[in-house]
């Protein structure tokens, strides 16, 4: 009965750790016929990354995770993709146009409605500002530019296909 109690407590502890960790590593460090010692270690969270057409992108500031979403800097991504970006202080609105295809994107800080081309979208999150920079979730940003967005949870990587 004592062995069963110990096993149950160990399993409960392990499941609680998993709930709060990105990754839980387990290893049996001592094993005999009647007992074993299990070592549990919490792995550090993997920093978010973005691959565009197979190339790992570098952003300044770097992408970050908030509320299970990967946020990216708006201006840098738009400019890297041929958009001219404008920010209107009075309305807290970011507007961008790609002159090669006349595609535009408009978003307002705190507003969950985005415009992309001739379409309007309602998302469940609004653009946010941190230290004077505008951020939106990676999926919203790239899908508004017409890209396909996938996510690899194991590597915490957004995979963008243009």
The pLDDT tens digits of the residues spanning 120-156 come to 999 999 999 999 999 999 999 999 999 999 999 999 9
Tokens of 150: 């996938």
**Residue 29, burial from CB neighbour count under 10 angstroms (0-12, 13-18, 19+):** exposed
Instruction: Give the per-residue pLDDT at 6.
Output: 52
pLDDT for residue 72 is more than 50: yes
Which pLDDT band, with edges at 50, 70 and 90, does 17 fall under? very low
**Domain at 49-161, CATH class:** alpha beta
Calpha distance 143→159 (Å, rounded): 12
Q: What is the mean pLDDT of residues 44-55?
A: 92
Closest CA to 74 of 9, 35, 126, 34: 126
CB 13 within 8 A of CB 40: yes
């Amino acid at each position: 009965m004592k062995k069963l109690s110990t096993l149950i407590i160990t399993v409960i502890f392990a499941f609680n750790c998993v709930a709060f960790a990105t990754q839980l590593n387990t290893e049996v460090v001592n094993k005999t016929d009647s007992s074993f010692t299990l070592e549990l270690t919490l792995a550090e969270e993997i920093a978010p990354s973005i691959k565009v057409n197979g190339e790992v992108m570098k952003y300044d500031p770097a992408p970050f995770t908030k509320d299970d979403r990967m946020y990216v800097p708006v201006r840098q991504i738009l400019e890297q993709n041929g958009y001219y970006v404008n920010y209107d202080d009075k309305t807290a609105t970011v507007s961008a146009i790609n002159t090669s295809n006349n595609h535009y994107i408009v978003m307002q800080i705190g507003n969950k409605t985005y415009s992309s081309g001739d379409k309007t979208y309602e998302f469940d999150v609004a653009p946010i500002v941190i230290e004077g920079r505008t951020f939106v979730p990676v999926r919203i940003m790239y899908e508004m530019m017409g890209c396909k967005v996938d996510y690899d949870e194991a590597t915490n990587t957004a995979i963008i296909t243009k």
